[in-house]
Structure 1
Amino acid sequence: MHHLSASLYRSASLSCVIAYSAHCLAAGYGINENSASYMGTAFAGRASNPVDASIAANNPAGLSFVTHTILSAGSAVIFKGGEFKGQYTRPPRFGGIVSGETLVGKSTDYQKTTPVPFGHFSMPFNDQLTFGLSAYGPYGIELDYDNDWPGKYFADKTSVKVINLQGTLSFKLREDFAIGIGLIGSHVNGKLTQSSGVPDVLPIDATIEGDDNTFGWNIGAIWQVNEQTKVGAVYHSKLDFTLDGDIKAHGRLAIPENPLINATVNDKVGAKLDITMPERAALSITHKVDPRWTLMADATWTRWSHFEEFYVKAKNKMKVSLSGGFPSLPPEITTNPSSYIPMNWKDVWAYSIGASWQVSPQWLLRFGYMRDNSPVDDKNRTVRSPDADRNWFTCGVNWQATESLSIDVSYAYVVLDKGKISESKYKGTAPHAVDENYGKITGEYKTSSHIAAAQLNYRF
Structure 2
Amino acid sequence: MNKGRILVGTAAGAMAFGMAASASAQAFYLQEQSVRGQGRAFSGEAADTGVDSLWWNPASIGGMDGGEAAVHASAILPRGKVVDNGTVIVRPAQAPRSVGGDPVAKNPINNGVLPSGAVAYGNGKIAVGLAISAPYNFTTNYDADSWARYSADKTKLRTFDIQPSVAFMVTPQLSIGAALNVEYADATLSNYLPNLSPLLADGHQTLKGDGWDLGWSAGAQYRTDVVTLGLAYKSSIKHKLSGDVTTEGLLGPLAAQNRVIDTTATFRTPWQAIGSIRVKATPQLTLNGQIVRYGWGKFDDIRLGAPLNVALPENYKNSWTYAGGLDYDVNPQWTVRAGVQYGETPTNDGNRDARVPDSNRWNFSAGTSFKASERFTVDAAASYITFKDAPIDRITAAYAGTAAQTPILTNGELQDASALVFSLGARVAF
TM-score (norm 1): 0.85
Matched, 1:354 2:350: no
Structure 2: which amino acid aligns with 1:271?
A: T
Percent identity for Structure 1 against Structure 2: 22
Match of 1:177 in 2: 174
Query: Aligned in 2, Cα 1:189/1:92: closer, same or farther, shift over 3 Å?
Result: closer
Gaps of 5+ in 2: none
Kindly provide the CA deviation profile for residues 140-181 of structure 1, in whole angstroms up to 9, marking residues without a partner as x.
221112332211121111111111101111101111111011
Alignment-derived partner of residue 61 in structure 2: 63
Distance 1:455 1:420 in 2: 37
Distance 1:156 1:45, change over 3 A: same
Q: Is the 8 A contact 2:13 2:313 kept in 1?
A: no
Which has more radius of gyration?
1
Please point out which of 409, 418, 434 is paired with 2:380: 409
State how far apart, in whole Å, the 1-side matches of 2:210 and 2:20 are: 13
CA drift at 1:66 = 4.0
2:109 equivalent in structure 1: 111
Structure 2 SS opposite 1:62: helix
Q: C-alpha displacement at 1:46, in angstroms?
A: 0.1
The amino acid across from 1:342 in the alignment is: P
Alignment partner of 1:452 out of 403, 422, 427: 422
Q: What pairs with 1:24-423 in structure 2 (closer than 5 Å)?
A: 28-50=27-49, 52-87=50-85, 89-90=87-88, 93-96=91-94, 100-103=97-100, 105-124=103-122, 126-195=123-192, 197=194, 200=197, 203-224=202-223, 226-255=224-253, 263=255, 265-313=257-305, 315-316=306-307, 339-423=310-394
3-state SS, counterpart of residue 61 of structure 2: helix
The residue matched to 2:31 in structure 1 has which SS? Answer: coil
Paired residue secondary structure (1:111):
coil
* Counterparts of 1:23 and 1:243, CA distance in 2: 14
RMSD between aligned residues: 2.6
User: 1:92/1:241 Cα in 2 relative to 1: closer, same or farther (>3 Å)?
Assistant: closer
TM-superposed deviation, 1:60: 0.6
Q: TM-score, normalised by structure 2?
A: 0.91
Task: Label 1:360 to 1:216 Cα distance change in 2 as closer, same or farther (>3 A).
Answer: same
Q: Secondary structure at the match of 2:332?
A: coil
1:44 Cα deviation from its structure 2 partner: 0.7
Q: What residue identity is the alignment partner of 2:38?
A: M
In 2: Cα distance, 1:94 partner to 1:223 partner: 64
1:203 shift after superposition: 2.7
What is the Cα deviation at residue 18 of structure 1? 5.1
Q: Which residue of 1 aligns with 2:16?
A: 20
Could you list the per-position Cα deviations for residues 109-149 of structure 1 after superposition, in whole angstroms to 9, with x for gaps in the alignment? 1111111100100111x221011011001112211123322
Distance 1:105 1:14 in 2: 20
Which residues of structure 1 form unaligned runs of 5+? 256-261, 317-336
Whichever structure has more helix as a proportion of its residues is 1
How many residues end up aligned between the 2 structures? Answer: 422
Q: 1:20: Cα distance to partner?
A: 3.0
Shift in Å, 1:400: 0.7
Distance 1:388 1:352, change over 3 A: same
> What displacement does 1:264 show?
5.2
Helix, strand or coil at the partner of 1:44: coil
Tell me whether 1:437 sits opposite 2:389 in the alignment.
Answer: no
Instruction: Tell me: CA distance 1:191–1:11, structure 2 relative to 1, closer, same or farther (3 Å).
Output: closer
Deviation at 1:215, TM superposition (A): 1.0
